[in-house]
C-alpha cells in the first residue's frame, strides 16, 4: 500500500487490497478496520474522509491480516450476537446470526420468563447461546460446558462483560458425560461439518476457526450420537432441549432423536429458510 494520508485514501487503498483478496464487502470492511485501528466509532470514519491519518501502520497491518482471510472478528476481537457484544477469537467459533434462531426457539418454549430455570449449554464456545438466553430470563441460571479450556476462558470473560457472571458457571467436560442433575432447558450447537467438507469452506472458517468447533466426523453427526443420549438423561420432566444442525441434516438428526425415545416438538428455520434447529422433549 502507498502511504495514505487521509481517512478516504486509507479506506480506498485498504478496500483495493481486500477486494483483490476476494473479500466481497471490501469497502465496508476497510472502514471498520480503520475505525478499529484508530479506536473510533465507524461513523467517525465514514463521515470524515478528509481527516488525516498520521500513522496508518496499524491499519496496514490489520488489512494485511484480513487479506490473508483472517476473520474480521479476530482482528477486532469481538462480535455482536443477540445484541450482546461478545469477545471472540481463535479459540472459539464465531457466533453466527443463524444461531439466533436457536435462541428464539429456546425462548419460545419458556412459558414464564421470570421462572428460576436451570439452563445447560453443551459446547458453549463463547457462551453466546447461554448468555443470550439468560439475557431474556432474569431469574434463570446456566452452566456452559466445553472441551476447550481456551473457549471456557473466553466464555467466562463474556459472562463478566455482559454482567451475568453471578448466574453462570463454565466447566470443562466431554458433552454431558460426567454431569448429573436435571435441567429445564438444554442448548446445544455441536460441530456438524462432515470432515471431508471442511477444506471446501471459506478460508475464514477452514483456516482460522477451531477444528474442534467444526468437525462433526465422517457424516457430520458424531456429536449428535453422544449428545442426544445425554439430553435424554439430563432433561427435566416438562423441559425442552434445542439442538442446532446443518442445512440438510434435519432428517438424520430426527432419526437419532427419535431412536433415543425423545420427540421433536418443532423444527425452526434460519434466516435463509433452512431447517436449523430441533426443539426436543421427553415423551
Ligand atoms: C459449533 S461450536 C458452537 C459454539 C457456541 N455454542 C456457538 O453456538 O457459537 C461447538 C463447540 O463444541 C465444543 N466441543 C467440541 N467437542 C466437544 C466435546 N466433546 N465436549 C464438549 N464440547 C465440545 C467446541 O469446542 C465448540 O466450542
* Shared-domain flag, residues 36 and 101: no
Task: Return the pLDDT at 4.
Answer: 54
Q: Report how far ligand 1's centroid is from the alpha carbon of 49 (Å).
A: 42
Q: Which domain holds residue 19?
A: 7-68
pLDDT tens sequence across 21-37: 999 999 999 999 999 99
Pocket test for ligand 1, best of 104, 127, 213 (most atoms within 8 A of CB): 213
Residue 211 lies in a domain: yes
CATH assignment of the domain containing 274: 3.40.50.150
* Shared-domain flag, residues 152 and 126: yes
* Shared-domain flag, residues 44 and 157: no
* Shared-domain flag, residues 87 and 24: no
- Per-residue confidence at 271, pLDDT binned at 50, 70, 90? confident
Cell of 77: 476481537
pTM, two decimal places: 0.95
Task: Return the pLDDT at 69.
Answer: 98
From CA 162, how far away is CA 158, in angstroms rounded?
A: 6
**Ligand 1 atom having least distance to the Cα of 177:** 20
Amino acid at each position: 500500500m502507498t502511504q495514505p494520508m487521509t481517512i478516504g485514501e486509507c479506506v480506498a487503498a485498504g478496500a483495493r487490497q481486500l477486494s483483490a483478496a476476494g473479500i466481497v464487502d471490501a469497502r465496508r470492511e476497510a472502514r471498520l478496520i480503520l475505525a478499529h485501528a484508530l479506536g473510533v466509532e465507524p461513523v467517525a470514519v465514514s463521515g470524515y474522509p478528509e481527516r488525516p491519518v498520521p500513522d496508518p501502520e496499524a491499519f496496514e497491518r490489520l488489512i494485511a491480516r484480513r487479506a490473508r482471510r483472517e476473520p474480521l472478528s479476530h482482528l477486532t476481537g469481538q462480535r455482536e450476537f443477540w445484541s450482546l457484544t461478545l469477545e471472540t477469537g481463535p479459540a472459539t467459533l464465531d457466533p453466527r446470526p443463524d444461531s439466533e434462531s436457536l435462541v428464539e426457539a429456546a425462548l419460545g418454549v419458556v412459558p414464564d420468563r421470570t421462572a428460576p430455570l436451570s439452563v445447560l449449554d453443551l459446547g458453549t464456545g463463547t457462551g453466546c447461546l447461554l448468555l443470550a438466553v439468560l439475557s431474556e430470563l432474569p431469574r434463570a441460571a446456566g452452566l456452559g460446558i466445553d472441551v476447550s479450556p481456551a473457549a471456557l476462558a473466553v466464555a467466562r470473560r463474556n459472562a463478566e462483560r455482559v454482567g451475568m457472571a453471578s448466574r453462570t458457571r463454565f466447566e470443562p467436560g466431554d458433552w454431558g458425560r460426567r454431569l448429573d442433575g436435571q435441567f429445564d432447558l438444554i442448548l446445544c450447537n455441536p460441530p456438524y461439518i462432515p470432515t471431508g467438507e471442511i477444506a471446501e469452506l471459506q478460508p475464514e472458517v477452514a483456516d482460522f476457526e477451531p477444528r474442534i468447533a467444526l468437525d462433526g466426523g465422517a457424516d457430520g453427526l458424531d456429536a449428535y450420537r453422544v449428545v442426544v443420549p445425554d439430553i435424554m438423561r439430563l432433561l427435566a420432566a416438562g423441559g425442552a432441549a434445542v439442538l442446532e444442525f446443518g442445512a440438510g441434516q434435519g432428517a438424520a438428526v430426527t432419526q437419532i432423536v427419535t431412536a433415543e425415545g425423545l420427540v421433536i416438538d418443532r423444527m425452526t428455520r434460519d434466516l435463509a429458510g433452512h431447517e436449523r434447529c430441533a426443539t426436543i422433549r421427553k415423551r
